[in-house]
Structure 1
């Protein structure tokens, strides 16, 4: 995939800068972040999906500090002309834009030079067109849409959200799974989380579940990974939810 002046080689896990003929061999965390951004290019990838890789080789979450450092390094490697392709949106996620908007100032290279009436009209038209273009393209980035989501009321009267994601090749009935999980979650004696996100692996055998709670000054996270021996095995039960601290 082409990212500005760089080519992202997904198989070799390399980012090749074609403007200076250098190659960056990405480490495990850098590759995970960039591959997820590339997969969902043009959309804001939530922090919780970036922080908890759906891979058994990862033993702990990628911290917010590490994510900020990865974004900084990627922007620096892309260079001044293309660094704006990647943006960190605080408390929300990271986005890899499809393109940058280049500005051209040739009409203003000589500020003391008089311009004709036709040039003046042209400047006004260009300004109006540019304003329309910026407004239409920068209304706000799209976010990754869950394959299924449910909002439910907990036993203590609070509202919580459930989000389910699957791979493009999966044929799971996510609506049915969302209904089943929401029915169990709404009867938890204690629900300590504001949002629960579950992401299925490509083969549907592994599931990564991330819970988050908004505290006074920060987010509190908890994640678990489940691997099933059989696809037919139904592991979500009220007892299991309590055992893994999804229900209190």
Structure 2
């Protein structure tokens, strides 16, 4: 199955970037989510169905599903990430405009994952260049996930997500998707790094931007409160007001 510029080999559990021949051996969550979306192409697949376990595996969590969709979109690239549509509060839909069945790959490709142009989310430890204001500076915190966001100018912005736990991070991943869409619309930006985290009560989103202006390093701290249900936090107008593109 072709998805944008990638081949999806369901039998081998591979997602292969066509132009650079990079192959990503999909983890269980990503393989389950993408397989169900492909099997129901053009139809809404509920979060419940995407989470459903099998005889060999337990059900996925909401966080696992959100993270899987985010990572699949990252591998597909910004020009094809819209193939997977988020239907708010319901689930996800794989559009069929760019997908078609393909017989055979035509060559042997490596089965180990590598970074593509847009980067894959990777687990990182030992981050020592940045300390959050709300934690003990003697104990650096490793990000939950990190990715590289490419701009039209060739510049990249690194986005790192921080969480107090590894569970129930669905909202954080959804906010990261909105932030990513805003950044990818920029031709260039003064900011080279972005760090995002939610408060314990999930009512405050903290974003720190790091970059360079006139040869000097600059930092900007943003704090957004949202007490509504459902929460929005990041909107296109807000991204313009804070000058995310610089």
Is this a same-fold pair by TM over 0.5? no
- Please state which structure has a larger fraction of its residues in helix: 1
State the TM-score, normalized to the length of structure 2.
0.42
Please tell me whether Structure 1 or Structure 2 has the larger radius of gyration of its CA atoms.
1
State the TM-score, normalized to the length of structure 1.
0.41
